Every structure is written in structure tokens, then in C-alpha cells.
Amino acid sequence: MKKRLRAGFTFAETLITVALLSIVFLAISGGFVVFTRAYKSITRKANAQVMLSTAIMQVTDDFKNATVYYSSTNAFETSSRGYLVKYVQNSSKGMIVQPFNQSTGEADSTLKEIPLLTKKTNTDNMYTDFSWGDTPCTIATDGTALFDIKIYIRASDDSDKAIEYQEIKVRSNSVVTKY
């Protein structure tokens, strides 16, 4: 008697193969989802750190070149910009450098306000925010000023949560008059 050779797979073998391939596919796709979330989180944190670093450089430059500080309005004159400015918060643009008129106590309409950071620097729907320290500006015995400010990087979709922040204290390079 001749034995008959079977060609192909049985139904049970096919079902087991499909089940095993499904498990492998689910594990790979689950790993991809976890990887994608981790990548987005790490990238957002890195972008926030770059934004914070850039904001700190801008604020430090303004404070180091300050010559007059008005304690009643937290406005200060800085030679790096060439006029009297005040930092204000704008929820859509972030931290704004606003030209200020001390005599009227309002924004100076002859000059244009500018964001502290450009649109290209503001990435991932994040923006800069700030708060002054308990004493925004103190004058040292040598006449230089010590400015105290905390800068935050916040997400537009979750404005209460700071992604990154840094408190900085900057000493002016010259004697500062305080009013």
C-alpha cells in the first residue's frame, strides 16, 4: 500500500499560526505606542528647556543693562533696548516686553510691544510666563540692582502646569536709580 503524502497545513495549524502572529503584532504595536508617547514627552521637555534658556538670556540681558527701576510699576529702563520697558503677560503670546511711559503709568503707544520670544522659539503650543520674587528689585550698597524673577514655560493646553521653570537673580552692571 502506498502512503498518501499530505500537502499543506491543517486547519488547526493555520489557526495556531494566526493566533501567534496576532500576539506578536499586538506586542509590537503596543511598544510603538509607548515609544511614540515617550518620544513626544522627551521632545516637548527638550523644547521647553530651550525656550527657558532663551528667555533667561533675554531677561538677563535686559536686567544687566538696567539703569533705572520704578518700584511702583516694576518698569525699568534698559540700554539693551534703549527705552523704558515693563514685562507683561499675554496668554496668547506669552511674556511681552512692553514699552512703558512712567509719567502716564500706561503702555507707551509710540513704540510697539514685542514678545520676549519669537513665534519660531515658541514651539509645541508652549508659552513663557513669569512672576516677580518677593522683592522684585533690591539695591545693593554699591548702587547696583539685584532683580528677582521666576520664568515659567507653560503648555497652552494646560496653563496651570509649568513644564519648566527657573528662578533667576540678576545683578545689573551699572548703578541703578530706584524710584
Residue type, 61: D
Residue 72: name the closest of 47, 96, 104, 97 by CA.
Answer: 104
Q: Which residue has the cell 527705552?
A: 83
Across 34-50, average pLDDT:
92
Q: What is the per-residue pLDDT for 120?
A: 74
Query: What is the tens place of the pLDDT at every residue in 119-151?
Result: 777 777 888 999 999 999 999 999 999 999 999
Q: What is the per-residue pLDDT for 62?
A: 94
Determine the Cα–Cα distance for residues 83 and 174; give it in Å rounded to an integer.
Answer: 16
Residue 6 has pLDDT above 90, yes or no: no
Per-domain boundaries in the chain? 24-178
Query: What is the tens place of the pLDDT at every residue in 63-85?
Result: 999 999 998 899 999 988 889 99
Exposed / middle / buried, residue 41 (Cβ in 10 Å: 0-12, 13-18, 19+): exposed
Residue 157 has pLDDT above 90, yes or no: no
Across 102-125, average pLDDT:
84
Determine the Cα–Cα distance for residues 51 and 56; give it in Å rounded to an integer.
Answer: 9
